[in-house]
Amino acid sequence: MRTTRARRRWVAVAPAAVLVLVALSLRGPFSAVGPLLGELSDELSVSTAALAVVTSLPLLCFGLVSPLAPAVAARIGVHRAVLVGMVLSAAGVLLRQAGTIGLFAGTVVLTGGIALANVLIPAAARAEYGGRSAVVVGMTTASMAASASAGAGLAQPLASLGGSARAGLLLWLVPVLVALLGIAVLARARRGVRPPESSAPESRTAILRDRVALAVTLYFGLQALSFYAMLTWLADVLESEAGTSPVAAGGLVAVATVLGAPAALVVPPLAIRRKSQVPWIAVASVPTAVAILGLLLAPQAAPVLWALLYGFGTGASFPLALTLVLQRTRDAAQTGRLSASAQSLGYLVAATGPLAVGVLHDVTDGWTPALLLLLAILVVQTVVGLAAARPRLVSAAA
């Protein structure tokens, strides 16, 4: 009897464990590149400015590849589509070893694979756990945050362990292969399982004609913009406005990023307890607003507090956005389509955010206009989020 219960418990937990393994490999392989740009420049004899393009390619690839994910899942099944994503990720990690061209091409292949898995993890969780999938999505989101932090934090140690920057990047093949093996086993067990058929039209843009879907998509994009703007420029703001040292500023950004992990574990299971997620929009927006206002009005008063509030607010917004994708859709197929829509447009929007903030800073030679822009974007994000959080479903025809 105990053996039977243990087996049933393992069968119930195993899919979630596999999806967490996949999520743990979705950020580290590319977040490790930024801290190694100097070393890569020396090894490849390429300017750091040219290599900096590698750090912006992932967001563009996410935006361009994400719309393809539902079509791939519809053809071969959700689990096999995630497996394809992991195969591409492994190929990309290997390809990055082939010199300068390989680094760029490998980054495209790697992040293309990651984009497939990004979009389809919520759909795979929905297919496995139905209405209880938000908890699993929270676990995978926390794993992504941990992966991003580990990629940046372990970049130099892994480079030292491998003897070079490229060898350090190659070591990320290990978690990718572990995840690939796990999803391969799960995909084999779920052969023939596809998203449930729905009455949705064939057009990939049809879902954006639904007001609820559009609100969720815009919320995802604006929260991603805020996060990546923080990741790119918060250290510079702290150095310039609060007088923080470069080392301390970098450390504060790392800690702020890590706050996304516990937020991802707490927000989804609590947010799904009620049909409306309106209060959680405030939970995510208020800390970010306080942080931006603090950096505007009294940056030197509490730079640590401003950084942590910014990190918590943006860290809570991401799992909340994914939770809205789950809560506003009717089945795994619709979840996949809305996830693709939100992530495709969202990451394209996010890619423009750091650039807009940087250009505004250069033009005005100060951070006040840039921070005011981020505050205005946050206001729009909150308004859109309140619309997305109301207890309504995307139309069955979307």
- Spell out the per-residue pLDDT of the chain, length 398, in tens: 556 665 566 667 889 999 999 999 998 898 888 778 778 888 888 876 677 677 777 888 888 888 888 889 888 989 999 999 999 999 999 999 998 899 999 999 999 999 999 889 988 888 888 777 778 888 898 888 888 878 877 888 888 888 998 999 999 999 999 999 999 999 988 875 554 444 444 455 667 788 888 999 999 999 988 888 887 778 788 888 888 887 787 778 778 888 888 888 888 888 888 888 999 999 999 999 999 999 999 999 999 999 999 999 998 998 899 889 888 888 877 887 888 888 888 888 887 887 788 788 878 888 899 999 999 999 999 999 999 999 888 877 66
Instruction: Kindly report the pTM of this predicted structure.
Output: 0.75
Domain 2-189: state its class. mainly alpha
Q: Count the alpha carbons within 13 Å of 269 in the hemisphere toward its beta carbon.
A: 11
Local structure of residue 398 (DSSP, 8 states) = -
Distance CA 351, CA 393 (A): 29
- Res 326: pLDDT: 84
Distance CA 179, CA 173 (A): 10
- Res 197: pLDDT: 46
- Res 322: pLDDT: 86
The SS3 call for residue 386 is helix
- In a 10 Å sphere around its CB, with 0-12 CB exposed, 13-18 middle and 19+ buried, how is residue 28 labelled? buried
Q: Do domains 2-189 and 206-389 have the same CATH topology?
A: yes
Contact present, 362 and 236 (Cβ < 8 Å): no
- Res 398: pLDDT: 64
- Res 36: pLDDT: 80
Query: What would be the CATH architecture of the domain defined by 206-389?
Result: Up-down Bundle (1.20)
Contact present, 219 and 381 (Cβ < 8 Å): yes
Distance CA 69, CA 62 (A): 11
CA 358, 362, 363: angle at the middle one, nearest 5? 115
Distance CA 269, CA 285 (A): 19
Domain positions in the chain are 2-189, 206-389
- At residue 332, φ and ψ (nearest 5 deg) are -65, -35
The SS3 call for residue 26 is coil
For the chain, what is the radius of gyration of the CA atoms? 20
* CA neighbor of 390 nearest in space, from 327, 339, 326, 330: 327
